[in-house]
Structures are given as structure tokens and as C-alpha cells.
Amino acid sequence: MGAEGEKQEVHVLVVAFSSQGHINPMLRLGKRLTSKGLRVTLATTEIARTRILSHLAEKSTTTDTTIAADAAPTTTTIYSVSGIRLAFYSDGLSLDYDRKNNLDYYMETLQKCGPINLSNIMQTLPKFSCIITNPFVPWAADVAANHNIPCALLWIQPCTIYAIYYRFYNSLNSFPIKENPEMSVELPGLPLLHTQDLPSFVLPSNPFGSFPKMFSNMFQSLNKFKWILGNSFYELEKAVIDSVDELHPIKPVGPLVPPSLLGQDPSFDIGIEMWKSEGTCMEWLNQQNPDSVIYISFGSITVLSSKQMENIAMGIKSSKFGMDGEGVVNSEEIESCIKEMTSGPRGEEIKKKALKLKQAARDAVAEGGTSDRNIQAFVDEFIAVSCN
């Protein structure tokens, strides 16, 4: 690309599933793209509008009140946060519909109505040079194709999970089946994996409905995406990232986390809090000694496997984790793990490794770091594509 001023005309649309854990990595990636001189709009469904705008109001964030003509004879207010525009489209259901307890129907409706309504709001905005979507809204790639716009996928889980799913859904390796549910799995770039080490979607006992089918379709159609970006950094997952390089490469551009975790000013965080934090929890935390509390998030539908817990513990043997018969780590073993992580020689060793990885993460996102270079290469590539 030529002069810096020309980059200001490059407009990127990022499409996020209406969940805080999906929106925030997209916003943080968008922030890094704006630092490269690009314009960014984040689109998500109307169900997230109220919570997002309430957060902005509480933070006293100014809003961009630009009015854009809608496809319907109405007007749409375009808000922004830290220079990233926000746009909202209907998922085809009323705002009071219980999506959480009707998840399969919700995902089906979103897949049916989302493309139409997303296309409609795209007509009200400047032309896009690239669309970035995430795994829960893979149909955005079809919208991009219909508009002749290149599309990227931001994989928000570890690259390790991407590699496992890619090999599973494309039948490249053997995985547990009903006839042999306890078989071990050997994959390039990874240690030997046992049943309890694998994500639940690839197990014959998988309890989820629409998500495995959606992932299956997506991983068998990755050619729809010109780029796969990962919320990780190369130094953390070298072997597994290299292992898929000749299959369908994933380029880490993270970690897309709050700036405070990277030694940066926390006031610059662009993340949205769609749920109010519990004040008493923060009061309690502030009373504890430094480095004395471990926070573990189990997600909405994803349960940490013993191998993921083992990685968190930086090398504690998987035999430390007892299973309750349902493939879930029991409380006694978690307590044992936490004690070993926080006290004694083992705890000190873990802390040193964690600090080393923390510095590696900071280096990766710093100017000239591996993730920063991957973002710049991605920007240069899609600008070149859009100019052809």
C-alpha cells in the first residue's frame, strides 16, 4: 500500500457472536487494526445492543451519532467505542425470546436470518475491504462472498483446539468412537491425548446439538476463508501451529486480552462488560495477598479437560486429575492442584514459567513481535487483494 493517508479509506467489518467472550477479542483485534490506520466496524445482533450501550454509558464513553439510512424506511444510529463503530442487526427473533434455553433453534434462526439482515446493514455503511468473522457465525463468509469481499476467520480458542477440530472433522486421524470410547489419540505437535484430554465435541458422548454440526460444516469448508487468525501467540503453541501449516495455516495475532495483562495502561482497554461484576467479590479479592488467588473460567458450554488443566498448571501430571465418571475434573483434585500451584517449590517453578510466558506474550504483541508481524502481513495481504 502507498501513503499512510490511503490506509484511512480501508474499512474492515468484524462480525461477532453476541456473547461477551466473542465480542471482546473481536474489539481488541479491531483496536489493533485501527492502530494500523484502518477503519473498523463491529457488527453483532440486536440482543447485545442494550448491554453494550449500558456499558458505554456507565463508562461515559462518547458515541458517534452518525445516522445511516437503513434498507427499511427508518434510520439507524451508529455508535462507536474507542474509534470502532458498532452496528446491530436482527437475529430473526424477538428481544425477549429465551435464546439460552432454546439454543439449537436460536442458532438455526441466526443462520437463516443473519445473512439477510447483516447484508442489509452493510448497504448503509461504507464499502468494506475485508470481513472478519468468528466460528459461531461462519455464514458471514457467504455474505462476504456475495459482496465479493475477502473473509478471515478469528479462532478465539487455543490453536491446539483448532488443530484437533481440523483433523477430527476432516477425518485425518483416528478419534474415540462408540465401539472404542477410551482410545488414545496421537496428533502431530501434541502429546499423546487420552479421552479426558479431548474437547467434548469430538467424543462419541458429545451432549451438544447444533454446534458440532456447525463446526463440521465449517472445518470442511475452510476454503471460504482466505485467512485463519488465532487468539494466541506463536511462542506459546509453536509445535501445534507448525503442525497445521501445510494443512490450513493459522496465524496467531494474540493474545487478545485486556491491556493490563500485557503491562499496558488498563484505561485503554476496549473490552465490553455485558454483565455487572459482583462488588463483594472485588472487595474480597482486594483484601488478599498478591499472587494468592487463582481464577479459572469454565466458559458457557465448554468444560476444561484434564489436559487443558494440566497445561494451566504448567506440567502437573495428568494423573493428578481424578474424573467423576462424566469426564469432569472433580473438586478434590482441583483443590489438590491449586495447593500445589500456589505453595512450595512446585508453586515457585510454576510462577517462574508463568512470568516467562507473560513476558513472551507482551513481546509478541509489541511492535515487531510475532503477533504484530502477523497482523501487519494480514493487513498488507487483504489490502493487496482489495486493490486487484
Residues with catalytic function: 22
Q: Do residues 88 and 49 make contact, with C-beta atoms less than 8 angstroms apart?
A: yes
Phi and psi, residue 78, nearest 5°: -100, 115
CA angle at 77 for the pair 270 and 20, rounded to the nearest 5°:
35
Phi and psi, residue 351, nearest 5°: -60, -40
Cα–Cα distance for residue pair 10/125, rounded to 1 Å: 13
Q: Do residues 323 and 196 make contact, with C-beta atoms less than 8 angstroms apart?
A: yes
Q: Do residues 270 and 82 make contact, with C-beta atoms less than 8 angstroms apart?
A: yes
Cell numbers linked to 159: 490453536
Cα–Cα distance for residue pair 326/40, rounded to 1 Å: 43
What radius of gyration do the chain's Cα atoms show? 22
Q: Do residues 188 and 243 make contact, with C-beta atoms less than 8 angstroms apart?
A: yes
- 3-state DSSP call for residue 303? coil
Q: Do residues 193 and 215 make contact, with C-beta atoms less than 8 angstroms apart?
A: no
Q: Do residues 306 and 197 make contact, with C-beta atoms less than 8 angstroms apart?
A: yes
The region that residue 187 occupies, defined by phi over 0 for left and psi between -120 and 50 for alpha, beta otherwise, is: beta
* Range list of H helices, the chain: 4-7, 20-34, 49-58, 103-122, 140-146, 159-169, 210-219, 238-243, 279-286, 306-312, 331-342, 344-365, 370-387
Q: CA-CA distances (angstroms) from residue 176 to 81, 181, 200, 251, 325?
A: 45, 5, 11, 28, 16
